[in-house]
């Protein structure tokens, strides 16, 4: 009888262990889900993806009428709606303070996007996100000093994907971005989730 009980308990423990293993999702599987989410989003929103070469040949612009997004070497998809100021002096430089108005959406593998936050309400001045842009050689970073992104995620680091447009736009620019987890904020990286951003304005604060 004792042997039967031990055997039965052993079978139960084995089943529990098997179920626990089957419930674990590997990082590779999470990356695959993220890739599917991006692919579905692009398909369902009729986005035309162009290459970096096509983007450069066009003068580093995207055709909004064709809903073009360029796939950058970083994996970020970018649409430039408005390049901003035509004044070369308004280029975003090292140590500039940048104000941002945006909406953030999380992408799901069923192609749906879920609004996470938005600071589009211009009447709420205190909600505008502010960060310092820092660049050294080819390396760039951003540090939030205030705003919703900093408040919600409790992290000062600006998503790397946000900084990609600064090579092509100036003060007052508007862009849309599909940012994979590796180029996103800490929450995106830890959850392996892609995010979509409608950035209404990058504004210099000098």
Helix (H, G, I), strand (E, B) or coil at 154: coil
Tens of pLDDT along 18-56? 344 445 889 999 999 999 999 999 999 999 999 999 999
Rounded to an integer, what distance in angstroms lies between the CA atom of residue 9 and that of residue 124?
Answer: 61
The mean pLDDT value of the chain amounts to 88
Domains of the chain: 27-86+101-120+159-201 (3.10.50.40)
Rounded to an integer, what distance in angstroms lies between the CA atom of residue 174 and that of residue 53?
Answer: 22
Tens of pLDDT along 56-66? 999 999 999 99
CB 199 within 8 A of CB 102: yes
Rounded to an integer, what distance in angstroms lies between the CA atom of residue 1 and that of residue 21?
Answer: 30
């Amino acid at each position: 009888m004792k042997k039967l009980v031990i055997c039965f308990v052993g079978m139960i423990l084995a089943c529990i262990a098997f179920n626990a293993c089957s419930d674990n999702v590997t990082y590779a599987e999470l990356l695959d889900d993220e890739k599917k989410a991006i692919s579905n989003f692009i398909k369902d929103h009729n986005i035309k993806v162009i290459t970096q070469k096509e983007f450069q040949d066009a003068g580093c612009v995207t055709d909004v009428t064709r809903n073009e997004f360029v796939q950058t070497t970083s994996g970020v998809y970018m649409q430039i709606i408005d390049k901003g100021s035509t004044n070369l002096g308004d280029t975003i430089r090292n140590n500039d303070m940048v104000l941002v108005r945006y909406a953030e959406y999380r992408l799901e593998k069923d192609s749906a996007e879920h609004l996470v936050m938005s600071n589009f309400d211009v009447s709420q001045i205190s909600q505008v996100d502010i960060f310092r842009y820092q660049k050294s050689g080819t390396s760039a970073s951003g540090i939030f000093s205030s705003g919703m992104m900093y408040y919600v995620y409790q992290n000062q680091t600006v998503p790397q994907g946000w900084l990609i447009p600064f090579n092509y736009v100036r003060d007052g620019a508007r862009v849309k971005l599909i940012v994979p987890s590796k180029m996103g904020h800490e929450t995106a990286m830890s959850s392996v989730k892609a995010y979509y951003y409608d950035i209404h304005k990058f504004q210099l604060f000098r």
